[in-house]
Amino acid sequence: MSELERLRQIHRKLGDVITQMEAEQRISPSVVTRTIRLGDARSMAVLTSIANAGGAVLVTEFETILAQNGRSLRGAGGFLGGAGASVRREGGTMRITDAGTASLEKWKTRYGDKWMEGLVPPETLADRSFPDSSRIPFAP
């Protein structure tokens, strides 16, 4: 797909999101909507999946979780890098670290108790045509 066609596709999808937000605002103007950076939502979804699996997943499961959330193993360095890594490899598993757990708590405080439920549709998380810098609306 050419870069121009990819941009057109993103533009159409963004137009759909804007149309939906406008319709929701007309129906319930008092509903407060906030936005979240898609990259943050993707990171939250990865860490949430690991935490919900008991804090550790097999490396192959980690790769699947990454793909479901618009990430690749090659791009997982942000989770694994440095002293503040949110995920560590231990043998054949990937385990959430204390820093990863702290990040989840921080995001929960920032985005509310239901911060992951319905925050961003799974198909949006997985769709790599949406850049991480995209802002996604949600109702807290």
- What is the model's pLDDT at position 109? 80
Strands of 93-96's sheet in order across? 56-58, 93-96, 87-90
CA 138-14-107 angle, to 5 degrees, is 30
Per-residue pLDDT of the chain (140 residues; tens, 9 = 90+): 688 888 888 888 878 777 777 776 666 655 566 778 888 888 888 999 999 999 999 999 999 999 998 888 887 888 888 778 999 999 999 999 999 999 888 888 877 666 666 667 778 888 888 888 888 776 65
- What is the model's pLDDT at position 12? 82
- What is the model's pLDDT at position 50? 95
- What is the model's pLDDT at position 93? 95
Question: Residue 135: beta bridge partners?
Answer: 37
Contact 126, 87 (CB under 8 A): no
- What is the model's pLDDT at position 95? 96
Report the amino acid identity of residue 3: E
- Beta-carbon contacts of residue 85 (< 8 Å; ≥ 6 apart): 79, 97, 99, 100
**Residue 87 three-state SS:** strand
- What is the model's pLDDT at position 39? 87
- What is the model's pLDDT at position 47? 93
- What is the model's pLDDT at position 2? 83
Q: Is the pTM of this model over 0.85?
A: no
Give me the phi and psi of 134, to 5 degrees please.
-60, 145
**Residue 49 three-state SS:** helix
